[in-house]
């Protein structure tokens, strides 16, 4: 029986979905993470502890494990595992993206330079050194601008600045976020020109160097800053066909410029009039639980499509289902302790709602962006058209009553159950 290695960072939302997809395929699974405790959800699977913060050491550990029990494929599920997966797959002769290409997706400065070398449309960009306040870089790209850490993901530490004072404040705040995340104090920051317009997300699969687009999500809520917390994703896109053709062309060009050639790609782009700009490209599939909004062929999950590709198995019909679907990532409005989320039954009863998952337990701390790296939960909807899906998600969200209290006041108020 083929054996699959799944690299599941401890902070991932996605362990259960990938494990379920692997078991449906009938393959044996070894689960790898940086902490053995993080693998408790995968009881019955073999386990491998890896130093994911050191991809070279992690890849060496995978190769040593493969000498005992060979792997047919290695899949890095989230950003923290994709470098180890690429390096190990290269050494073992398995399907993989070139490690250099994956490294570019994990370093925003390297990504921007690679895209610039291939004339891919993107925001103007400049770097701010560790001892700089960012104002010189902001002048180079123009105001307003967006301050970003090079290595974090999920909009963490991403802040819009409209003038020099806001640039200095944003730079100081992002550096504090990096320190809290355990990143090197001397890591430079990226400053980009703010690009107005609507934003879309592209979910795709690279096969032999060619991009196969699986879905394009509209993001109906404006993402104008000062922080960039994503909420609604709805597919299929309602943008004109000519715009979508350009979105696909730009996404494919960006992947090629970075050197990606095999496996999932998640890209984010902005459309300002006729101009499409590439914001981000990741060598992994969509994050959180958002993939549950997608079904392909005869009901395949996105995880099943990814694993079948990694194992060299055919996908009879990779087309997305015909119905519209969407997900709302429930935002965290303020820091504190989650006491309760009331109104869940009413939200689930809204026509078109397909599911609701609250992913932070009551009594746990909650932190909003730009410092936070978690969502409160996820709402899912399906319907005949994207407008109906969006309406259902907004209506259901309106039923939820989230109670967050300061940490010092909430310890004896957490709702039972």
* pLDDT number for residue 136: 97
* Pick from 108-122, 124-138, 181-195, 347-361: least confident: 181-195
Which helix (H) or strand (E) segment is 160 a member of? strand 159-161
State the Cα–Cα distance between residues 148 and 59, nearest whole angstrom.
Answer: 28
What tokens appear for 103 in the block?
């490294």
Strand, coil or helix: 296 = strand
- Res. 142 pLDDT band, cuts 50 70 90: very high
Q: For 276, how many CA atoms within 13 A lie in the half-sphere containing its CB?
A: 21
Whole-number mean pLDDT of the chain?
93
Q: Which CATH superfamily, name and number, covers 124-193?
A: ATP-grasp fold, A domain (3.30.1490.20)
Do residues 362 and 414 lie in contact, with contact meaning Cβ atoms separated by under 8 Å? yes
* pLDDT number for residue 356: 98
State the Cα–Cα distance between residues 310 and 29, nearest whole angstrom.
Answer: 13
Do residues 335 and 311 lie in contact, with contact meaning Cβ atoms separated by under 8 Å? no
CATH class of 323-417: alpha beta
Q: What percent of the chain has pLDDT over 70?
A: 95
Most distant pair of Cα atoms in the chain: their distance: 60
- Domain residue ranges of the chain, discontinuous segments joined by +: 3-97, 124-193, 323-417
Check pLDDT > 80 for residue 411. no
- Res. 274 pLDDT band, cuts 50 70 90: confident
Per DSSP, the residues of 163-179 read: SHHHHHHHHHHHHHHHH
State mean pLDDT over 264-269. 98
- Res. 1 pLDDT band, cuts 50 70 90: low
Judge if the upstream peptide bond of residue 236 is cis by omega within 30 degrees of 0. yes
* pLDDT number for residue 407: 84
Check pLDDT > 80 for residue 414. no
Check pLDDT > 60 for residue 415. no
State mean pLDDT over 58-85. 96
What is the Cα 158 distance to its own chain's centre? 14
State the Cα–Cα distance between residues 164 and 26, nearest whole angstrom.
Answer: 57
- Res. 37 pLDDT band, cuts 50 70 90: low
* pLDDT number for residue 408: 75
Check pLDDT > 50 for residue 391. yes
* pLDDT number for residue 416: 45
Check pLDDT > 70 for residue 66. yes
pLDDT in tens, 295-343: 998 789 999 999 999 999 988 777 899 999 999 999 999 999 999 999 9
Check pLDDT > 90 for residue 43. no
Angle between helices 241-258 and 108-117 (to 10 degrees): 110
* pLDDT number for residue 409: 63
Q: What percent of the chain has pLDDT over 90?
A: 86
- Res. 35 pLDDT band, cuts 50 70 90: confident
* pLDDT number for residue 417: 43
CATH class of 3-97: alpha beta
Could you say which DSSP state residue 40 is in? G
State mean pLDDT over 216-237. 96
pLDDT in tens, 362-390: 999 999 999 998 999 999 999 999 999 99
């Amino acid at each position: 029986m083929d054996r699959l290695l799944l690299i599941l960072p401890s902070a991932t939302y996605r362990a259960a979905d990938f494990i379920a997809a692997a078991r449906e395929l009938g393959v044996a699974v070894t689960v790898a993470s940086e902490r053995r405790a993080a693998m408790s959800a995968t009881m019955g699977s073999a386990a491998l502890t890896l130093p994911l913060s050191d991809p070279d050491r992690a890849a060496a550990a995978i190769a040593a494990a493969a000498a005992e029990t060979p792997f047919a494929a290695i899949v890095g599920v989230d950003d923290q595992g994709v470098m180890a997966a690429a390096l190990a797959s290269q050494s073992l002769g398995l399907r993989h993206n070139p490690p250099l290409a994956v490294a570019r997706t994990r370093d925003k400065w390297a990504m921007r330079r690679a895209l610039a070398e291939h004339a891919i449309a993107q925001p103007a960009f400049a770097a701010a050194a560790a001892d700089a306040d960012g104002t010189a870089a902001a002048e180079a790209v123009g105001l307003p601008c967006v301050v970003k850490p090079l290595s974090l993901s999920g909009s963490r530490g991403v802040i819009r600045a409209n003038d020099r004072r806001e640039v200095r404040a944003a730079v100081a705040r992002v550096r504090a976020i990096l320190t809290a995340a355990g990143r090197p104090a001397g890591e430079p920051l990226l400053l980009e020109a703010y690009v107005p317009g609507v934003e879309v997300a592209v979910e795709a699969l690279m096969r032999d160097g060619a991009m196969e687009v699986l879905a394009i999500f509209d993001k109906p809520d404006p993402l104008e800053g000062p922080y960039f917390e994503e909420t609604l994703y709805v597919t299929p896109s309602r943008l004109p066909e000519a715009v979508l053709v350009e979105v696909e062309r730009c996404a494919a060009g960006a992947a090629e410029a970075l050197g990606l050639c095999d496996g999932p790609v998640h890209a984010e782009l902005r459309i300002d009039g006729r101009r499409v700009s590439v914001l981000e490209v990741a060598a992994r599939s969509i994050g959180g639980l958002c993939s549950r909004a997608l079904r392909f062929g005869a009901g395949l999950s996105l995880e099943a499509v990814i694993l079948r590709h990694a194992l060299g198995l055919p996908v009879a019909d990779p087309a997305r289902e015909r119905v519209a679907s969407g997900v709302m990532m429930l935002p965290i409005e303020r820091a504190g302790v989650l006491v309760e989320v009331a109104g869940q039954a009413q939200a689930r009863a809204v026509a078109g709602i397909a599911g609701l998952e609250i992913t932070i337990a009551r009594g746990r701390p909650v932190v909003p962006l730009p410092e936070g790296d978690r969502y409160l939960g996820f709402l899912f909807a399906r319907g005949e058209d994207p407008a109906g899906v969006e309406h259902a998600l907004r209506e259901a969200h309106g039923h939820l009553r989230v109670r967050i209290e300061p940490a010092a006041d909430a310890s004896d108020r957490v709702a039972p159950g």
